[in-house]
Amino acid sequence: MFEQNYWDILQQYKKDTETIFPEYIQTIETSLSYSWLLQGRIMKLLSNTGELPPYKQFINVYYLRNIHYLTSAFNSAIINQCSSSRDLQRTIFETIVRGYLMIVDNSVANKMYIFIVANNKDKTIRRKDNSMLKKIMPTLIDPYFSFVDNFINKNRINNNLYNLIKEDIEKYWLFKNNASLIYDKRLEKGYNKLYEHLSPFSHPSITGSWRDVSYSKTEIEDCLKTISMLIYSNLQMFIESFDVIDDEPAKRITYDTFYTIANTLEYIPNIEPNKDKFNLLLKYKDGNVLAKLKY
């Protein structure tokens, strides 16, 4: 094997994958294209609405970045580079879970928004940021409110507020903390197990170094299934924040994407929060997305 040209080997792996898994290949390529088109459609519709609330700004960025990461994860998987594909899948999975936490608890996004504003080089608030801070101030509790109220009119956030926020939001950087907040014990356990499955190669280690050398149909199929599930979940997270129900072109794109993925997987992915107090806040949940969007 090592006497062969490396790129010839990868191209052969790609051909083998396309021959063995044509349905998954077609589903993922079509779904990623539709996901991209939908984001452009929604942003065009919102072009004159002004600055979005922080949680919607985060969801929009998360969704778009996930499309890029999903594309890279897919391109790695089809050439048998499943370890690097899973690194990306893990990041996508983490991002969707954090995105859903922001949807059901906007204060998380508000705190992170303030942290980002305060994290620029000179801690200066731009006028645009100043306006948004005034909007989200009522959602904050002491000691945030007193800090922001004191410094917002001086056009400056000092290190006290920055450090306070940093300490508070660090817990949202960890997947397991976020999962415990939005899922019941059963789903929390299941998703922690999936997270661990995607994590072994995310840090320097010699474990599994040879796994991507020989072509593995089983590994590639597992990657393609997970990527399909993540495309579905990324899209559902997005439309939870940017509803497509009143725009026929967007609605059709979304429904067709969901239908194609569910038909290929033969099940409906379900990553949205299921704790009662959060599940009640969602429009799309418990597998109802196809029924709600059917045209």
In the predicted structure, residue 155 carries a pLDDT above the cut 50: no
Res 131: pLDDT: 67
For the chain, domain boundaries:
6-48+57-100+174-293
Q: What count of Cα atoms within 13 Å lies in the side-chain half-sphere of residue 194?
A: 23
Q: Which residues contact 138 (CB under 8 A, 6 or more apart)?
A: none
Q: What is the pTM of this model?
A: 0.88
Q: What percent of the chain has pLDDT over 70?
A: 80
- Work out the average pLDDT over 145-156: 51
Cβ-Cβ contacts under 8 Å for 230 (sequence gap 6 or more): 66, 70, 73, 89, 92, 93, 96
pLDDT in tens, 85-121: 999 999 999 999 999 999 999 989 988 887 777 666 5
Task: Give the helix/strand (H/E) hosting 125.
Answer: none
Which tens digit of pLDDT belongs to each residue from 24-49? 999 999 999 999 999 988 888 887 77
d(CA 293, CA 268): 14
* Res 1: pLDDT: 59
Q: In Å, how far from its chain's centre is CA 59?
A: 8
Count other C-beta atoms under 10 Å from residue 13's C-beta: 19
Q: Which helix (H) or strand (E) covers residue 156, if one does?
A: none
pLDDT of 150 higher than 80: no
The one-letter code for the residue type at 47 is S
Other beta carbons less than 10 A from residue 53's beta carbon: 18
Q: Cα(100)–Cα(206) distance, rounded to whole angstroms?
A: 34
